[in-house]
Chains A and B, each alone.
Chain A
Amino acid sequence: MKLWTLSKKEAQDILGNKIYLLVVLVQVFIILGAFGLALATSVISDPALLDQYGITSNIKVGVTQDLQGSQLAKDLEAQKLKLVYYNNTQQANQFLGRQLAAVITISPQGEVQVQLDNANVFYQVASTKVRTAVNNFQTRRTLQSSGLASEKIKAIQEPVTLTEVPVAENQKVKIAMDSAYFVEIMYGFIMPFILLLPFFLASNIVTDSIVGERERKTFEVLLMTPLSSIMVVLGKIIPILTFSLIQSVAWIFLLDLLQVPIYNLFLMIIILFSMGLGFIGVGILISILVDSTKEANSAITLVLVFATFILFVPLFIKSGMFQGIINFIPTVLMVKIASSPVIRPEVMIYILPTIVISIAVFLFTVRSFKHERAIRL
């Protein structure tokens, strides 16, 4: 009951904090922004998607008049590039880098000359498409000159074919963009980042929970109340942990709404809860140890930079020998759990260290609080 009173008071403090509410709102914009950015970059870097959205036809390639209707022109058009015809190479070259992403000509000796503009926004896609077209043309030309039958030429040009057979198509899961880059960046970085934002924020908010009481000279009053140390720490933790967990779960539903489905909700909540407990525990621990709010702010900034490093760098490094350790990192776990409809049971073992560490942080915080109390009273 007393715990409830303290929790209620702390909760009111948090909800009365306009800046906190503002930052909660800002997070929604961060999520939508990151989502939009992921969509845009996926489209720009994926030739198939550019074709699908009809952007490829905006990539213009300059060719000379004499190539009209030629096999090379057909190969270029097969890549869905838009061809613009010029009287001669010089004329076409004038527009290279402005309207044209590339200029392609055939010299009198039969050499295919390709000029690419690196500065084009779609350079990556344009160069891939141009190179594919020119290589196709060149291969066919070589094979034809050696007198092979057209059936054989096709087999040599494309020695491997791939047929895709959908399984369980009627239970197809909808995803905002069925692109590899989008799925990788979304599950592999943006999702853990978004879901952990509320806890980064929470650990920032709680840093003044104890040192603030000390500065406002209300700490002694708090210690006089008939609450055990563990109850005081719990009373400080429960409201903010609840709020940030609610936010995090809300972001999960928001992602679901944006068609980035998050699987294994229950396991995800367990991980998020443990990480929240850890983050907030560290925040309160700092608050107990420092002398002023200013100091607490610098300390938590340092801790969060360190945490970002530990949590997010493993998502980007090619591991090898460290893989054994990386599997235990909670963000790596989140990626695997959130993106898989069916998970392997050994994942449960990987969660254990996260839970153990967060409980250890909590217990250590309570111990430090007891120590502080013993000094004060």
Chain B
Amino acid sequence: MMNFTTITRWEFKNTLKSRKFLLIFFLQISVLFLMIVVFNSFAANLESEKGLSITPSLTGFATLDVEDQGGLFSKRLNPEVLTIQNSTYNQGMARLANGNIGGFFAVPSNSVALIQNNDRVATILYLDYRDPKRSVIRQEVNNTNQILSSTLTSAYLDSLKSQNNTNQPGITEKTSGESLPLQIVRKVMLAVLLFLPLFLFGNLVIDSIVGEKERKTGEILMAMPLSSTDIILGKSVAVVLTMALQVAMWMIILLGAGFQLKNAAIVYMTVVLTALPIVGLTTIIAAYAKNYKEAGIGLSFAYIFIVGLLIVPLLAYLSRQSAAANISPMTLTMRLFSGETIAPVDILLSFAFILILSLLSYGISIKLFSRDDVVFGPRPGIIRLALELLGIKKRRVLK
């Protein structure tokens, strides 16, 4: 008795026996190790209050002339962004007019005396509006002024305190919740890592279906006492098993590396179940594609779409905690491994989404695979095929 398990056994054995596959399998695991190191250093960087800046660091990006005899301002300007040159009013304004510099910053010559008297220092920034970098200069000068301002104010307050010795009530500050960037690195990245194996084996599906077409062994397969349902399901289950194996190994490694994964068993189940519709969508592409090249392009686009479908609700959940975000199994997984209490409705929503997508994708790919015009050609166009599958147009039969 032959059924889909026969195919699954063949395919799974073939996969595990292939040297190339084993190589890729372990290459992926070493990539995982690398990523763990990178994520940990990211998170450590974020936690260290330094924050993570993604601003380019461009030495000498903008140019500024400064007239500051007191020197209090010019030494506080950021030399990593500005090329600073000391000059006089006349020189500076001339260079500004010629477009040689982006701005001229004038500090009163008696600035030190003013500060000692606790009087205001009025500074002027002449900014070239022909330069697109004017906002950069404006911000750097503003920052310098603010740093100096708060230093002076707090110095004055300190001197006041030591004079009066009064007990002025102060400020206490408490913070709660994990910062969004940290949540993204900690939770989202972990969720992405858990789901990554599901996207690494698309070529297995392609290989096992498109490969039959390219090697011209598809005819033999079709001639066997198996329905197209058996073939598609058999091949898919083999790939899902491979993914399950890889996800299990990744989870063990992640746990070993000290990542917090609560509800590990349910998390594992959710990830593996999500593999079903992803493999299903891949089989649609494989069933329709004529060759590897076509399948590869189709796969890239499909995976971008699926990744969006998984990640966008997750991000929406982080910022809004909306219930609809649970539609993505990735959201569910993240909530599971961070140990949140989850309403049964939310779990149901996620699983219903997986079930519907699975039924739909396998239904379509089985339909496609059972048509020899799709598998062996001449292949109908996508629009025509869609209309035929929906029953709007009748299938053309060659006589």
Contact residues in A for B141 (Cβ distance below 8 Å): 162
Q: Are A317 and B153 in contact (CB under 8 A)?
A: no
- Given A160-B120, A162-B141, A165-B124, check contact A119 B183 (CB 8 Å): yes
Question: Which residues B271-292 have CB closer than 8 A to chain A?
Answer: none
Which of B50-58, B334-342, B357-365 is the contact stretch? B50-58
Residues of B within 8 A of A187 (CB): 61, 132-133
User: How far does the alpha carbon of A158 sit from the alpha carbon of B120 in the complex, in Å?
Assistant: 7
On whether A159 and B152 interact (CB within 8 A), knowing A167-B126, A185-B55, the answer reads: yes
Residues of B within 8 A of A332 (CB): 58
| B residues 104-134 in Cβ contact with A at 8 Å | 115, 118-134
Chain B contacts with A in 152-180, Cβ cutoff 8 A: 152-153, 156-157, 160, 164, 166, 168-180
Q: Which of B80, B130, B140, B157 contacts A318 (CB 8 A)?
A: B80
Q: Is the CB of A328 closer than 8 A to any CB of chain B?
A: no
B125 touches A142 (CB 8 A): no
Closest to A157 in B: B153
Residue B88 at the A interface, CB < 8 A?
no
Minimum C-beta distance from A206 to chain B (A): 18
Cβ–Cβ contact A167 & B176, under 8 A: no
Q: CA of A166 to CA of B182 in the docked complex: distance in angstroms?
A: 40
Within 8 A of A (CB), among B34-70: 54-61
- The main secondary structure of chain A at its interface with chain B is mixed
- Once bound together, how far apart are the Cα atoms of A332 and B156, in whole Å? 44
Q: Do residues A145 and B126 form an inter-chain contact, with CB atoms below 8 A? A: no
- Interface assignment of A19: CB less than 8 Å from any CB of chain B: yes
Q: Knowing A123-B179, A160-B145, say if A166 contacts B172 (CB, 8 Å).
A: no
Does A139 interact with chain B (Cβ within 8 Å)? Answer: yes
Cβ-defined partner of A317 (8 Å) among B57, B168, B169, B173: B57
Of A159, A189, A339, A340, the residue contacting B149 (CB under 8 A) is A159
B148 close to A (CB within 8 Å): yes
User: A96 — nearest CB in chain B belongs to which residue?
Assistant: B176
Q: Is the CB of B297 within 8 A of A335?
A: no
The answer to whether A323 touches B180 (Cβ under 8 A) is: no
Task: Give the residues in chain A near B120, CB-CB below 8 Å.
Answer: 155, 158-161
Q: A189 to B129, alpha carbons, bound, how many Å?
A: 23
Whether the Cβ atoms of B171 and A165 lie closer than 8 Å is: no
Stretch from B95-103, B190-198, B260-268, B325-333 forming part of the interface with A: B95-103
Q: Is the CB of A116 within 8 A of B123?
A: no
- Flag if A109 contacts B169 (CB, 8 Å): yes
Contact B149 A111 (CB under 8 A): no
Contact with A along B175-218 (1 / 0, CB 8 A): 11111101100000000000000000000000000000000000
> With A and B bound together, what is the CA distance between A164 and B134 in angstroms?
11
Q: A118-B178, A173-B132 are in contact. Are A165 and B125 (CB under 8 A)?
A: yes
B58:A160 contact, CB within 8 angstroms: no
Is B172 within 8 A of A163, CB to CB? no
C-alpha gap A189/B54 in the complex (Å): 10
Number of B interface residues, CB 8 Å?
Answer: 69
Q: What 0/1 readout, one digit per residue, does chain A (94-107) give for beta carbons within 8 Å of chain B?
A: 00111000000001
Across-interface contacts of A319 in B (CB, < 8 A): 57, 59
Contacts of A96 in B (CB 8 A): 176
B139 at the interface (CB under 8 A from A): yes
Contact between chains at B124 and A138 (CB < 8 Å): no
| A342 and B171 in contact, given A160-B152, A180-B138 (Cβ under 8 angstroms) | no
Whether B176 and A155, one on each chain, are in contact in the complex, defined by CB atoms closer than 8 angstroms, is: no
A322-341, CB < 8 A from B: 323, 326, 332, 335-336, 339-341
Most-contacted residue by chain B among A143, A183, A261 (CB, 10 A)? A183
Say how far A201's CB is from chain B's closest CB, in angstroms: 15
Interface contact A342-B169, CB-CB below 8 Å? no
Number of interface residues of A (CB under 8 A): 77
The minimal Cβ–Cβ distance linking A53 to chain B, given in whole angstroms, is: 16
* Chain B neighbourhood of A185, CB < 8 A: 54-56
Q: Whole-angstrom distance between the alpha carbons of A88 and B4 in the complex?
A: 66
- Check A162–B123 contact: CB distance below 8 A: yes
Q: Which of B145, B169, B175 contacts A162 (CB 8 A)?
A: B145
Q: Which residues of B contact A135 (CB under 8 A)?
A: 171
Chain A residues near B136 (CB-CB < 8 A): 180, 183-184
Could you give, for residues 101-143 of chain A, a 1 whenever the CB lies within 8 Å of some chain B CB and a 0 otherwise?
Answer: 0000001011111111111110100000001001100110111
User: Which residues does chain A contribute within 8 Å of B118, judged by CB atoms?
Assistant: 152, 155-156, 159
Q: Are B135 and A111 in contact, CB atoms less than 8 angstroms apart?
A: no
Q: Once the chains bind, are B122 and A167 in contact (CB under 8 Å)?
A: no
Out of B131, B157, B175, B182, which one reaches A115, CB within 8 Å?
B175
Measured between beta carbons, the chain A residues less than 8 angstroms from B123 are 160-163
Residues of chain B within 8 A of A107, CB atoms compared? 169
Distance in angstroms from B13 CB to nearest chain A CB is 26
Report A317-365 residues with CB < 8 Å from chain B CB. Answer: 317-319, 323, 326, 332, 335-336, 339-342
Q: With A118-B175, A120-B180 in contact, is A184–B160 under 8 Å at CB?
A: no
In the complex with contacts A142-B160, A160-B152, A161-B122, A114-B174 CB distance below 8 A: yes
Complex CA gap A120/B174 in Å reads 15
With the chains together, A187 CA to B136 CA distance in Å?
12
Contact for B172 among A22, A113, A326, A342, CB less than 8 A: A113
Q: Contacts A167-B97, A342-B99; is A155 near B172 (CB within 8 Å)?
A: no
A163, B80: Cβ atoms under 8 Å?
Answer: no
Looking at the assembled complex, report how far the CB atom of A76 sits from the nearest CB atom of chain B, in whole angstroms: 13
Q: For residue A182, give the distance in angstroms from its CB to the closest CB of chain B.
A: 8
Q: In whole angstroms, what is the CA distance A180 to B142 when docked? A: 11
User: Are B129 and A97 closer than 8 Å at their CB atoms?
Assistant: no
In the complex formed, the residue of A with least CB distance to B173 is A114
B18 adjacent to chain A (CB < 8 Å): no
With A142-B168, A159-B115, A339-B61 as known contacts, state yes or no: A165 contacts B127, CB within 8 Å: yes
Given the interface pairs A116-B173, A188-B61, the reply to whether A173 lies near B129 with Cβ below 8 Å is yes
Identify A112's interface contact among B58, B172, B175, CB under 8 A. Answer: B172
Q: Which residues of A contact B157 (CB under 8 A)?
A: 139, 142-143
Measured in the bound complex, the distance between the Cα atoms of B99 and A332 in whole Å is: 21
Minimal beta-carbon separation of A40 from chain B (angstroms): 13
What residues of chain A lie closer than 8 Å to B90, measured between beta carbons?
Answer: none
> When chains A and B are docked, how far (Å) is the Cα of A165 from the Cα of B124?
7
Known: A260-B132, A335-B56. 12 other contacts (CB 8 A): A118-B175, A119-B183, A121-B180, A161-B120, A167-B96, A167-B126, A167-B127, A173-B132, A178-B135, A180-B135, A315-B56, A340-B133
Q: Which 3 A-B pairs have the closest CB atoms?
A: A188-B56, A119-B177, A110-B169
Identify 7 residue pairs between A and B in the complex whose beta-carbon atoms are under 8 Å apart, listed by A's number: A111-B171, A119-B179, A141-B168, A160-B148, A336-B60, A339-B132, A342-B99
